[in-house]
Structure 1
């Protein structure tokens, strides 16, 4: 049985700060739909939301901070599915099955939100920023397995990094350039999402042993 875990709760906010945060996130999503990620700026967000530039800068710090906040907000749904959703992503499945399900869900999440995820890289932080909650969840599942001699802290970090690498974001951002080597329309093979989901399963099974056969 999987060990219960918590992914943390948001820090308490004043009522006005919470309203401003929700207004800014909603305004940022509207701008994404209207003008795209490349044209979403701090100034434009302030104008669109009706809030002052100082409020926007205090909330996000940098333009990349806007996208990080959007990504974090969207990720809460995935976190809830991990904590209390149906197995194998949620509790109740063998740890290998949960590892496979989590990695594949995260790959799909990055594919769905690739434009926002790419925009979190502002040149002042390493590409492929570590996601501590992913690493914690993976470490909890690894500890339930019998992996003699494995350094579980290092292994959890390596597996978490495999789910957040800039290569994934590059592939998802430009499927038309996949070409024969990467699958997709040019080769008649599966696209990068399908291949990376299969690759994640293969990686986990080579380390941890076989998972249950895929449904269907």
Structure 2
């Protein structure tokens, strides 16, 4: 918080007033980086946006999340560390609604709510962070796509 305040040329109190705490600051940083992805999910071209089959959209979603995370490893890791209740974050809630909706459309026999939590939970792991830091994003994305296609078959 001290470094952010100094870089912004404001007092530490101003940063705390705006963001509340370190988690609030990290959440704001992550949300600013997620805006483009959120817009693409809602109204972008297929396969990420509407118009593609659910399984294809879900694969594109995970590809986009991996790409976003690989470009923002430090910010995402800091957010993970600072987050006290990730499951109630607006980003998580939005992503969960998107993923569970696609799963429900593609495979009505699955517990879409639970499977969405499980898939999204895989993004919040030390293993994922390790793959991102070692540059194994292609392997990670391929693994997620394989899981999605197997689940929705």
Contact 2:26 2:75 survives alignment (8 Å): yes
Contact 1:103 1:163 survives alignment (8 Å): no
1:138 to 99, 106, 111: 99
* In 2, Cα distance between equivalents of 1:63 and 1:110: 19
Aligned-residue CA RMSD (Å):
1.9
Alignment of 1:1-216 (within 5 A): 42-122=1-81, 125=84, 129-130=86-87, 131-148=92-109, 150-173=110-133, 175=134, 191-209=135-153
| Unmatched runs of 5 consecutive residues or more in structure 1 | 1-41, 176-190, 210-216
* In 1, Cα distance between equivalents of 2:23 and 2:115: 29
Number of residue-to-residue matches in the alignment = 149
Q: Sort the Cα spacing of 1:46 and 1:72 in 2 relative to 1 into closer, same or farther, 3 A.
A: same
| Unmatched runs of 5 consecutive residues or more in structure 2 | none
Q: Sort the Cα spacing of 1:79 and 1:58 in 2 relative to 1 into closer, same or farther, 3 A.
A: same
Q: Deviations over 1:101-160 (max 9, x none)?
A: 00111011111100111112346737xx34221111001111212332x22211111112
Q: Sort the Cα spacing of 1:67 and 1:138 in 2 relative to 1 into closer, same or farther, 3 A.
A: same
TM-score (structure 2 length as normaliser): 0.87
* In 1, Cα distance between equivalents of 2:73 and 2:38: 18
Q: Sort the Cα spacing of 1:105 and 1:124 in 2 relative to 1 into closer, same or farther, 3 A.
A: closer
Contact 1:147 1:208 survives alignment (8 Å): no
Structure with the bigger percentage of helix: 2
Q: Which has the higher contact order (CA 8 A, sep 6+)?
A: 2
* In 1, Cα distance between equivalents of 2:149 and 2:34: 26
